[in-house]
A and B are shown apart, each in its own frame.
Chain A
């Protein structure tokens, strides 16, 4: 799990639109499908969404 994502090498070219984008590090990408972390996020996102839904009714 290095700090540079392979998509930088594959998908970014200098002076093209892609050059200005922020790219996730492999750690960020790992956390996106890490079951424990996503279990926690599941609860947090649900709470946040319920608050927005309540505020909108």
Chain B
């Protein structure tokens, strides 16, 4: 009997664990170590953040689902990896610290034959003075929509602003809270949902809404922008993003690194080196992401974290990490199998793997401050990678170490993305986008790096319907209801 341990039960880890258990059956064990008792469909947190959904709409308890699937669920956070075992044993193991199941604070060693790191991002609020509370959490000047609880709080604060806006001008600032943030898409959705709700609440005229982002052009989204066919042209996402911002009366500031957050005020530095301040009454600034801070130790209990993790805390996999200038970047630098090069029984999936380089062109201010989006790894690639890694591990368990590993490169995979611009059955809108491949391949598709036949986008009510259907479909799938395997990632 082999044991697969999956660290992290989010989009990627949950996909990996549930497929692995289905394929391995009862002959082998699948253990999930994840600190939350609830699964969260993160994309719909945006609607919680404007009061259009409740926390219960976007979360469900994990324990019954894992019980049904026959998965051993430990409500705990992984702390360290020991891939060589310890002095008196060669069996690799991880250490975990319980956060629930009545064992809060207790630690345990969990041995594994195969290990998946799917721990997602650490929301690194403290990277920006004042954005965090100095203890790893969010500070009290701004709000976040990254977790369901954050989004609930964001909506409470937003409603206060809407109330005030009935009689006085209010300023809303949404975007990224650091020069090296990713996840611009989430902030984009939030700003347009706020705009939509403000109109519905009749307070739009008293609300100044402003975007701030580290993108060097509006519509970069951390993937270097994209082009879509419109009329007889291949039009850039810059055109579409600017169009929407102007249409909805949202001002933008780009190429910005937020260097400090204070009560009602941020300080920023721009790509041209100038600095400035911006005031706000309500701000949602996405924090930068880092790895969750797992440690690694060798057989002699010596720290070897830097051997298997990149400096940003993400797990090294089969990518080409050789530093090279932007002009030499290739789609083939990106990992295919997500296997750790040092320990072949360790894999990473979702946000937890270390990308070889940015997707957007690196930029910095004359003062040397890097101001560029880092690569996003959205839901679809996170799910597909999780499934491919699970497939590989199942084959290794069943067919031995020579088994063929499954591939899911972001340089050869597309992504479908639906960005909400306001919720409503008949008046909602969303930008429905596909991009192929996610990492531009300038060798295959010179100039724009993408296949125009598979890269498209449009905004409308149909996109909103799709977003809403996807919400129910993915929660249905994550609950492992009948036919769940038929729903694609």
Which residues from chain A sit less than 8 Å from chain B, CB to CB? 5, 7, 10-12, 17-18, 20-24, 29, 31-35, 38-39, 41-42, 45-46, 48-49, 51-53, 55-57
Whether the pair B415, A24 counts as a contact (CB closer than 8 A) is no
- Collect the chain A residues with CB atoms within 8 Å of residue B460's CB: 31-33, 38, 41
A-B contact pairs, 14 of them (CB 8 A): A7-B247, A22-B239, A23-B243, A24-B247, A32-B460, A33-B427, A33-B429, A33-B461, A35-B461, A41-B462, A45-B458, A53-B414, A56-B380, A57-B384
| Assembled-state Cα–Cα distance A23/B463 (Å) | 20
Closest chain B residue to A18 by CB distance?
B246
CB distance from A45 to the nearest CB of B (A): 5
The total of chain B residues at the interface (CB under 8 A) is: 34
B454 interface contact, C-beta 8 A: yes
Whether the pair A45, B246 counts as a contact (CB closer than 8 A) is no
B252 interface contact, C-beta 8 A: yes
Which residues from chain B sit less than 8 Å from chain A, CB to CB? 239, 242-243, 245-249, 251-252, 380, 384, 413-416, 426-427, 429, 432, 434, 436, 454, 456, 458-463, 465-466, 488-489
Closest chain A residue to B247 by CB distance?
A7
- Collect the chain A residues with CB atoms within 8 Å of residue B454's CB: 48, 51-52, 55
Interface centre among A12, A49, A57 (most CB of B within 10 A): A49
Interface centre among B243, B380, B427, B461 (most CB of A within 10 A): B461
Contact A53 to B426, CB < 8 A, known contacts A22-B243, A23-B247, A45-B463: no
CB distance from A47 to the nearest CB of B (A): 11
| Assembled-state Cα–Cα distance A45/B429 (Å) | 14
Which 3 residue pairs are nearest across A and B when measured between Cβ atoms? A21-B242, A42-B462, A41-B462
For the complex with contacts A7-B248, A11-B247, A56-B384, 13 further pairs of A-B residues with Cβ separation under 8 Å are: A7-B246, A10-B249, A22-B242, A22-B243, A38-B462, A41-B458, A41-B462, A42-B462, A48-B454, A49-B416, A53-B380, A53-B416, A53-B488
Whether the pair B246, A12 counts as a contact (CB closer than 8 A) is yes
- Collect the chain B residues with CB atoms within 8 Å of residue A31's CB: 460
Q: Which of B380, B413, B416, B429 contacts A32 (CB 8 A)?
A: B429
Whether the pair B247, A42 counts as a contact (CB closer than 8 A) is no
